[in-house]
Structure 1
């Protein structure tokens, strides 16, 4: 039996996780879905957020799914398929090569087990006029392999941004199956079952990598904080994992994070106001109460410049009452 499977890709900050959360909230009540999450950072924020929906989630942290962790990715997919989900959603890192996971899913290993449906790419229309993105190979690749393109965050976009999105869609050859302009990652769930396009120009090659295999991060007994850094694709990340005993002052934490100039900050944090999900992208702050308690606090900061991690570490530890 083949499992319907979708790749939901998009560059850093395009809203992939929010879109997947929306899909999980609106899936048929009688269906069980599974999600495989890959993140550029080492801490694993998206998996913690998506688990709140009671969905079976597996994470492959530390960069591109195939480049950084090809073996763990295949193992994770196999494990999820054994649970016999009604659908499998795969979220590659926004800074990775989505074509590599596409090649993995269409390889002989999974061909008999996966019914690969459309690949969906989310894009912030504002980025389609920005040379920083238009010259980025990963940004270009993610949009090129997509069967469906979702222009997200239209509430933050100008009329010129919307025109740029529509012009881009109209120029695609071969054309995309579908395109939508949406807010907050809300797009019709029916899109998931669309059939992939037959693109004779699409070339997807398997890639091998002989680097270290990513290992799950855990705190040892008596340890209250763990920090990990990663870099690649012209970006740098630093993430923190705090023990369940640590509680942050919400107001102080949000004030400090809002002052950072980083391109992306994500976290699931235990605070004096409850467990909160934090999402800061290009200066736009989004905060929501988590739907379930978190055993640990996790936060990841990503930027195109290496930030003063030691200084930030000292501030976070002070806010956590650890120094």
Structure 2
């Protein structure tokens, strides 16, 4: 059976790690999981949070996995498969990763028989959406375009009109996206 590969993307502070923690503790708790994080700093802040879940956490800190170091990304995936033999790999790229490039790397012929891309989830911080989209529109639009599911996080107390505008923005880019407008702490990791 092929290993499932999930990608959970979003900008810094949007709620990616919180969502991943819910997935591994609620939805995938009976699976052998490895989380591959892409951090820019020397020490991954999220690693300690995720290690408390009992899953293996591997890091790429040498740059963005979608760019010049995509070879590092593919090597890391291969190393994870050989070292841990997981049922599922969850990839948490940095917020400035182009998901389309990550998916292109995942479609490398070398890995066709090893894993299949399963979930592609983007977490968008509703409160910071306009600001983030204003300086990183290319990355935001790319995340929206290739995501199967988009979680609108940090939506408590936000004007419904603003959320409706974001919903329309998303649907103009990706009509097929499943949009979840729910406080991230209330989302069930089982769905």
- TM norm structure 1: 0.53
1:103 alignment partner in structure 2: 104
Per-residue Cα deviation, 1:264-317 (whole angstroms, up to 9, x for no partner): xxxxxxxxxxxxxxxxxxxxxxxxxxxxxxxxxxxxxxxxxxxxxxxxxxxxxx
Q: CA deviation at 1:113?
A: 0.8
Q: In the superposition, relative to structure 1, how do residues 117 and 52 fare at CA in structure 2: closer, same or farther (>3 Å)?
A: same
2:6 alignment partner in structure 1: 6
Q: In the superposition, relative to structure 1, how do residues 177 and 96 fare at CA in structure 2: closer, same or farther (>3 Å)?
A: closer
The separation in 1 between residues aligned to 2:92 and 2:161, in whole angstroms, is: 29
More strand by share: 1
> Is residue 80 of structure 2 the alignment partner of residue 80 of structure 1?
yes
- Who wins on radius of gyration, i.e. which is larger? 1
Report how many residues are paired.
Answer: 189
Q: CA deviation at 1:116?
A: 1.0
1:89 alignment partner in structure 2: 90
2:61 alignment partner in structure 1: 61
> Is residue 38 of structure 2 the alignment partner of residue 38 of structure 1?
yes
2:156 alignment partner in structure 1: 155
Q: CA deviation at 1:156?
A: 4.7
Q: CA deviation at 1:32?
A: 1.4
Q: Residues 98 and 142 of structure 1 are in contact (CA less than 8 Å); yes or no, is this contact kept in structure 2?
A: yes
Q: In the superposition, relative to structure 1, how do residues 59 and 133 fare at CA in structure 2: closer, same or farther (>3 Å)?
A: same
Q: CA deviation at 1:107?
A: 1.2
Q: Residues 6 and 117 of structure 2 are in contact (CA less than 8 Å); yes or no, is this contact kept in structure 1?
A: yes
Q: Residues 5 and 115 of structure 2 are in contact (CA less than 8 Å); yes or no, is this contact kept in structure 1?
A: yes
More helix by share: 2
Q: 1:1-323 to 2 correspondence within 5 Å? A: 1-82=1-82, 83-130=84-131, 132-136=132-136, 137-173=138-174, 175-184=175-184, 186-191=186-191
Moved over 6 A (4+): none
- TM norm structure 2: 0.87
Q: Residues 27 and 190 of structure 2 are in contact (CA less than 8 Å); yes or no, is this contact kept in structure 1?
A: no
